[in-house]
Structure 1
Amino acid sequence: MTKAKRTWIAALLVVALGTTAACSDGGGNKSEGQGEASASASQSPGQTGGDQSPDAQPEDIMAKYDPPIEISTGASVNPTVVWNPGESIDKNSVYDNYEQELGIRVKNKWAVDTSQYDAKVKITIASNDLPDFMYVQRADLDQLVKSDMVMDLTDLYEKYATPETKKFLTADGGAQLDSAKSDGKLMAIPRTDAPYVPAQILYIRNDWLKKLNLQAPKTMQDVLDISHAFATMDPDGNGKADTIGLSLQKEILASDSGLIGYFSSYHAYPGKWIKTASGQVEYGGIQPEVKTTLKRLQDMFKAGELDKEFMVKDSSKSAELLVSDKAGMVYGPFWMPSWPLQGGAVKDGKVVQDWGIYAVPSIDDKPALQPVDLGVTGYYVISKKAKHPEAVFKLLNRWVTALTRNDPTEDVAKYSQGSLKDKPQAYYTLNPVLVYNIGAQLYSGEMMPKAIKAKDPSMLNNENKINYENVMKFEAGDANQYGAYMAFKEGGSQPLLYEYFQEGRYLTNAYSGPPTATMADRWATLQAKEMEVFTKIITNGASVDEFDKYVEQWKTLGGAQITQEVNDWLQSH
């Protein structure tokens, strides 16, 4: 990975804390009537008692415990944390903030390095010695539910999750929250995250289109025609046959410079599980649409429209063709304008390449859907022995509030940086309940073009105000802000992600459960075989009919059994 790419990814991670910070409905504001943490409240909301009289005041679900209560957890010690002097995983400003505001004293029952965390969880489950709450993986959640070791959180969620938190956790329509349910009961809090980051966008050299008198693509056939023209009509004007239509890398199902978007134009979804008309879930990589797509790619390769050496190039190497005016199209996620496109588009402080941002088109009248995963990275469970389970929801509410406020505040810093003076790195990982914004990119995609057009950043959350300032710098002549401009402008890459959402053009992976028994043993082999066969067909090393043999091999090598196990798991959940 190049230094430029590392820098952009690091910047994206920083912004994620804040663009993570706003719900997809465009509201970074607090929900009306939401309870605030009260430093002076004296009631203990853990004592809920019986029915209230009609005249009773509604319970303040964010009231501070007085005296403080203690709840235990298992801590993952992130090696990227840079500690303030005198602080540690057991005593730090983030934990102190929760105790000062909510009267909740977080105690680590144990703390291990991040690399050892999952193993420690399994030991904890095996010994039946759970802390009050902890973060677990999907397979661990299933085991805990089956063993009846964790609480049903259905009623607790309804009562103690604020409206703001509920909106935050269901910004995708509820799929991520539903994944934490068993037999209709909410058994965990999902660690939500944005699923839309890898969604594919088609980037095309507009200046090449103009030079060759070509129109912007509306269909996949248009894309094929453009690719052929880019490879045969000398768009760089040097009199040599040295340009190609489409840049790609050896990991053909990678997010950047891969072919996920190309496949989706033919309604093919390798790498994902899809629901079929029969209601069963099947693997997308063995469907007939994949064969059709591979044939088109093979035709492009034979016509010189693809890099003849793509099969040995990683994303950084393939990017060199884009930067050096040798490739006119590429598929990738919303951040591609910052890397690698900016490296070629901006030279000596001037924009010298004109890249266009296009929705992935379809080969027919059905929309090309963009495959994404569920987005949940794990789950928080609460032990059946916990005395104050509602306190976990208070921690959750407080973190969500810190993320979603868009007024000038130190909230984000308090729970992500610790001391404002020293600003230690990665302190956000100390929060005992972490969720991230499902709709971070959707919020930016909806709100940033409005703010830019109105020249009014007041409607934005704090982190997008930073993005807004970078766009303004570009419009004022700072070409180094090209990536920000292309991501957030009207017609930019993040507005396109929002457009996909509005049009229902995301296809969520139909299986988000743990590795099945056969999958754990055979999946890596099947994936390697898939890449071997696909690459061989694309590069004309095998007939496209080799795909049919591959499908039968896939089934006999364990794929059929995995498919059965996947459907069995889905039916039991």
Structure 2
Amino acid sequence: MYRKMMTALLALTMVAVTACSSGAKEEPSKEAAAPLALQDGKYEPAVQMSYLRAWNDDTKFKNGETAQNNVHTKWAKERLGIDLTTPWAVSVTNDAFYTKLRLSLSANEELPDIVSIRGDYNLVRELIESGKFADAGELFDKYASDTWKGAAESASEEWYPYMYEGARYGIPIFDYAYNGDPVMFIREDWLKKLGLEEPKTIDELVAVMDAFTNQDPDGNGKKDTYGLTVGMKNALNTWMTESGWIFGMYNTMPGQWNLNAEGTLEYGSVQPGVKEGLATMKDWLSKGYLPKEAGVYDEIKAAELFTAGKAGIIVGPHWMPNWPIDDVKKNVDGATYKAIALPTGPTGESHHHGSGASNGVVLINKDMENPEIFFTYQNYLFDNFANPEVGGEFEHGFAQGYDFDIVDGKVLGEADLKDGVSPLKYTLTYDGARIPNLMMDTLAELATGKEPVTPFEKNTKIANKPEVFAAAQVVVAHKDDAIKNKFTGAPTDTMKMKKDALDKLEKDTFSKIIYGQVGVDEFDAFVTKWKSMGGDAITTEVNEWFKTVN
């Protein structure tokens, strides 16, 4: 018995010694990589972080800088000890960036630590389902700063598109809330010339559009003006020169999933109000209030009618006075415009599409040894740039001589500089860091005459034209009129198979109705066909998803 006890004790001792010895010699795995130490907020020596992001054609550089080497990459290394590298920099033109990234994924090439994407939601899903990326939500909970988490709490629905198998695989790139909510901009000088009041109802709007179309408001003796410019090439409910608000006057919103009175989701394009909206657009087009080419105009082309002085009304986001519509003042002597609320419909209601509070996503490679590096980078921007302090590093902007300068003691914004460029467009999240509710609340307050006090308030006043503040005030006053798209999840099974065909059916039918090629009653046949072609199945799937997030 004694010998058996001693033998067993010796065996246990050997197991313990072996386990301790083995643990001491084992190299840490990537999953358990030791956290990197920061010295005064900076990695010493510098650490490398690779990334991919799309580059827009409007991104400009100066001083010989490039996408790979610029004032932003220098800042990241000098301030944070993060050496940013990118394997390639490709424009979004003709979807070149997305195509190249898809090829990399299909070839099973090694992807960088961070991938930031705007647009092409299907590509985002392909990346998420590839198994190459980490549970970003778990990392966010662990590493994100309180400021960043506070921003996320105000826009919790923005996580939904990037959920997969119960995990949050993408971190939303937060944008300013209501940034895409539309207002109506109208030629104020035309109203005065023709003795008209600002339209508040659909009947008053029709009267104004008729006058703008038929009473020669530009005074050139020709019938070459339009009441309203819209661009329908890409969608009815689009980001600028949109027409979704027309359907909002009939209490629905096409092209998205809306919450109904029963608490379930319904597809806006098949609701009765859309039929009335289509009949209205058909009537306006036939009377010349809208340009005949609206069906082939994209947003930019449609906006050119306003800036050229040929259209009296345009509908779009509050920031449009910054670009492009203020050009009407350059092109037309004496031209003035103002923002007004969208007119009410027959039942006295006015609705518009509600924009989200994100404009992209960040994915984190599951093989990134130290994902906290990215959070060190983004935390710094949220804590110091998003709402900077007086005397802070970003008090006037990101980099002096780029997006701001100080001349004779006066702070000049990017628009005031001869060669001003925005380094924020070089950042991993395209805009640095944004707290969703901060911008619109600030703009609306400044519109009341409040003197700017904080750096954010001062910079906001410098960066925007006066018409922007008034437009933001309209947005805030009518934010409860917004109808938001409530389905932001991954494409359902039936969507993957049927959505393209359903979208084509919808676009073709609506276009034919608006252009008078078929009668308005064709809408009823469209609804029946949409449901039978997969619409009913998609509606069921969408509501099953809605239950999981609601």
Do both proteins adopt the same fold according to a TM-score greater than 0.5, normalized to the shorter chain? yes
Which deviations, in whole Å up to 9, do the C-alpha atoms of 1:403-450 show, x marking residues without a partner?
432546554535996999xx9967545544555534475145224324
Structure 2: distance between partners of 1:333 and 1:295: 25
Q: What are the equivalent positions in structure 2 for 1:344-359 lying under 5 Å apart?
A: 344-345=328-329, 352-359=334-341
Classify 1:209/1:431 alpha carbon distance in 2 versus 1 (closer, same or farther; 3 Å). Answer: closer
Q: CA deviation at 1:291?
A: 0.2
Which of the pair has more CA radius of gyration?
2
Classify 1:155/1:327 alpha carbon distance in 2 versus 1 (closer, same or farther; 3 Å). Answer: closer
Aligned partner of 1:391 in structure 2 is: 373
Which letter does structure 2 place at the counterpart of 1:487? V
Match of 1:497 among 464, 475, 481: 475
Which deviations, in whole Å up to 9, do the C-alpha atoms of 1:11-44 show, x marking residues without a partner?
xxxxxxxxxxxxxxxxxxxxxxxxxxxxxxxxxx
Q: Name the SS for the 2:358 alignment partner.
A: coil
Classify 1:113/1:545 alpha carbon distance in 2 versus 1 (closer, same or farther; 3 Å). Answer: same
**Would the aligned equivalents of 1:73 and 1:432 in 2 still touch at CA under 8 Å?**
no
Classify 1:320/1:375 alpha carbon distance in 2 versus 1 (closer, same or farther; 3 Å). Answer: closer
- TM-score (norm: length of structure 1): 0.68
**More moved, 66-75 vs 506-515:** 66-75
Q: What are the equivalent positions in structure 2 for 1:410-429 lying under 5 Å apart?
A: 411=394, 412-414=397-399, 428=424
Q: CA deviation at 1:270?
A: 1.7
Match of 1:271 among 255, 259, 277: 255
Structure 2: distance between partners of 1:308 and 1:113: 36
**Would the aligned equivalents of 2:443 and 2:472 in 1 still touch at CA under 8 Å?**
yes
Q: Name the SS for the 1:380 alignment partner.
A: strand
Structure 2: distance between partners of 1:207 and 1:86: 44
Matched, 1:449 2:447: yes
- TM-score (norm: length of structure 2): 0.71
Aligned partner of 1:485 in structure 2 is: 466
The unaligned stretches of length 5 or more in structure 2 are 1-32, 406-418
Q: Name the SS for the 1:413 alignment partner.
A: coil
**More moved, 150-159 vs 60-69:** 60-69
Q: CA deviation at 1:201?
A: 1.6
Q: CA deviation at 1:298?
A: 2.9
Aligned partner of 2:47 in structure 1 is: 70
Structure 2: distance between partners of 1:328 and 1:424: 31
Q: CA deviation at 1:176?
A: 1.9
**Would the aligned equivalents of 2:179 and 2:355 in 1 still touch at CA under 8 Å?**
no
Which letter does structure 2 place at the counterpart of 1:175? E
Q: Name the SS for the 2:526 alignment partner.
A: helix
Which deviations, in whole Å up to 9, do the C-alpha atoms of 1:245-282 show, x marking residues without a partner?
43434536244433122221222312222233444433
**Would the aligned equivalents of 1:93 and 1:418 in 2 still touch at CA under 8 Å?**
no
**Would the aligned equivalents of 2:184 and 2:342 in 1 still touch at CA under 8 Å?**
yes
Matched, 1:101 2:79: yes
Structure 2: distance between partners of 1:542 and 1:550: 12
Structure 2: distance between partners of 1:372 and 1:496: 14
Q: CA deviation at 1:393?
A: 1.4
Classify 1:186/1:354 alpha carbon distance in 2 versus 1 (closer, same or farther; 3 Å). Answer: same
**More moved, 287-296 vs 79-88:** 79-88
Aligned partner of 2:29 in structure 1 is: none
Aligned partner of 1:31 in structure 2 is: none
Q: Name the SS for the 1:493 alignment partner.
A: helix
- Greater length-normalized contact order (CA 8 Å, ≥ 6 residues apart): 1
Structure 2: distance between partners of 1:441 and 1:74: 28
Classify 1:426/1:522 alpha carbon distance in 2 versus 1 (closer, same or farther; 3 Å). Answer: farther
Aligned length: 491
**Would the aligned equivalents of 2:185 and 2:337 in 1 still touch at CA under 8 Å?**
yes
Matched, 1:467 2:453: no
**Would the aligned equivalents of 1:130 and 1:383 in 2 still touch at CA under 8 Å?**
yes
Q: Name the SS for the 1:75 alignment partner.
A: strand
Structure 1 vs Structure 2 CA RMSD: 4.7
Q: CA deviation at 1:240?
A: 8.1
Matched, 1:510 2:486: yes
Structure 1: distance between partners of 2:51 and 2:548: 29
Q: CA deviation at 1:289?
A: 0.6
Aligned partner of 1:288 in structure 2 is: 272
Q: CA deviation at 1:555?
A: 3.6
Which deviations, in whole Å up to 9, do the C-alpha atoms of 1:549-573 show, x marking residues without a partner?
2223334455445545544555566
Q: CA deviation at 1:119?
A: 4.8
Which letter does structure 2 place at the counterpart of 1:442? M
Match of 1:191 among 159, 173, 198: 173
Structure 1: distance between partners of 2:499 and 2:186: 35
Which letter does structure 2 place at the counterpart of 1:463? N
Identity %: 26
Q: Name the SS for the 1:246 alignment partner.
A: coil
**Would the aligned equivalents of 2:158 and 2:356 in 1 still touch at CA under 8 Å?**
yes
Structure 2: distance between partners of 1:427 and 1:346: 28
Structure 2: distance between partners of 1:507 and 1:416: 41
Structure 2: distance between partners of 1:135 and 1:315: 25
Classify 1:286/1:531 alpha carbon distance in 2 versus 1 (closer, same or farther; 3 Å). Answer: same
**Would the aligned equivalents of 2:227 and 2:289 in 1 still touch at CA under 8 Å?**
yes
Q: CA deviation at 1:67?
A: 4.4
Which letter does structure 2 place at the counterpart of 1:333? P
Aligned partner of 1:162 in structure 2 is: 145
Aligned partner of 2:11 in structure 1 is: none
**Would the aligned equivalents of 2:43 and 2:82 in 1 still touch at CA under 8 Å?**
no
**Would the aligned equivalents of 1:190 and 1:380 in 2 still touch at CA under 8 Å?**
yes
The unaligned stretches of length 5 or more in structure 1 are 1-45, 50-59, 469-483
Q: CA deviation at 1:228?
A: 4.5
Q: Name the SS for the 2:460 alignment partner.
A: helix
Structure 2: distance between partners of 1:374 and 1:288: 25
Aligned partner of 2:158 in structure 1 is: 176
Q: Name the SS for the 1:541 alignment partner.
A: coil
Classify 1:507/1:429 alpha carbon distance in 2 versus 1 (closer, same or farther; 3 Å). Answer: same
Classify 1:98/1:301 alpha carbon distance in 2 versus 1 (closer, same or farther; 3 Å). Answer: closer
Q: Name the SS for the 1:223 alignment partner.
A: helix
Q: CA deviation at 1:397?
A: 1.0
Structure 1: distance between partners of 2:74 and 2:192: 60
**Would the aligned equivalents of 1:407 and 1:461 in 2 still touch at CA under 8 Å?**
no
Which letter does structure 1 place at the counterpart of 2:337? W
Classify 1:306/1:47 alpha carbon distance in 2 versus 1 (closer, same or farther; 3 Å). Answer: closer
Which letter does structure 2 place at the counterpart of 1:486? E
**Would the aligned equivalents of 2:48 and 2:83 in 1 still touch at CA under 8 Å?**
yes
Structure 2: distance between partners of 1:522 and 1:106: 41
Aligned partner of 1:24 in structure 2 is: none
